[in-house]
């Protein structure tokens, strides 16, 4: 819900939110790809929720079969925490220092495709929004100076 609000508010300024479901964290996404949207709508978070951002097919973000996109992102930004987490709730091997710790870890990628920052999964969306706005202001200032 908070990501929908963020997309709605900052989308007109160029923000594009992308969602990548994964079943590697507590086995919280066990269903087929066709079940993800109905699950969001009726179960978690429920209440008729429909994402207003692009949701991709489920895939691995860590381990031997991780999506190359995530290999790139994780190697471009420092880890969000020193501890990886409880191995009994994490479902991939091998575990590496740059791995994503839990669902809802976020990355900001600039319009040039270069990763800018990474947020811990418990970082509030309001803090993420403030960081994004700060980044956008810096980019606007740089563009204004370059003209």
Q: Which of 14, 31, 13 is nearest to 22 (CA)?
A: 31
Separation between Cα atoms, residue 62 and residue 111, nearest integer Å: 25
What pLDDT is recorded for position 87? 85
What pLDDT is recorded for position 32? 95
Cβ contacts of residue 25 below 8 Å, gap of 6+?
89, 90, 91, 102, 103
**Domains parsed from the chain with CATH numbers:** 2-146 (3.40.30.10)
What pLDDT is recorded for position 147? 60
Q: What percent of the chain has pLDDT over 90?
A: 90
The residues that bridge with 50 in the sheet, in sequence order, are none
pLDDT in tens, 25-43: 999 999 999 999 999 999 9
Q: DSSP state, 13?
A: G
Which pTM was predicted?
A: 0.92
Strands (E), the chain: 18-19, 54-55, 106-109, 115-119
CB atoms within 10 A of CB 120: 14
**pLDDT tens digits for the chain (147 residues)?**
899 999 999 999 999 999 999 999 999 999 999 999 999 999 989 999 999 999 999 999 999 999 999 999 999 999 999 888 888 999 999 999 999 999 999 999 999 999 999 999 999 999 999 999 999 999 999 989 876
Q: Which of 101, 111, 100, 6 is nearest to 51 (CA)?
A: 6
Q: DSSP state, 31?
A: S
């Amino acid at each position: 819900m908070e990501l929908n609000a963020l997309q709605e508010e900052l989308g007109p300024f160029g923000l594009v939110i992308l969602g990548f479901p994964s079943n590697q964290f507590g086995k919280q996404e066990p269903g087929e790809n066709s079940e993800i949207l109905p699950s969001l709508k009726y179960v978690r978070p429920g209440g008729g929720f429909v994402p207003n951002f692009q949701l991709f097919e489920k895939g691995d973000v860590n381990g031997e079969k991780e999506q190359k996109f995530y290999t790139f992102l994780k190697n471009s930004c420092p880890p969000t925490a020193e501890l990886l987490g409880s191995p009994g709730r994490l479902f991939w091997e091998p575990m590496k220092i740059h791995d994503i710790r839990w669902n809802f870890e976020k990355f900001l990628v600039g319009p040039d495709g270069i990763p800018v920052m990474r947020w811990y999964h418990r970082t509030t969306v309001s803090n993420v929004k403030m960081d994004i706005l700060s980044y956008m202001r810096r980019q606007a200032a740089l563009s204004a100076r370059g003209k």
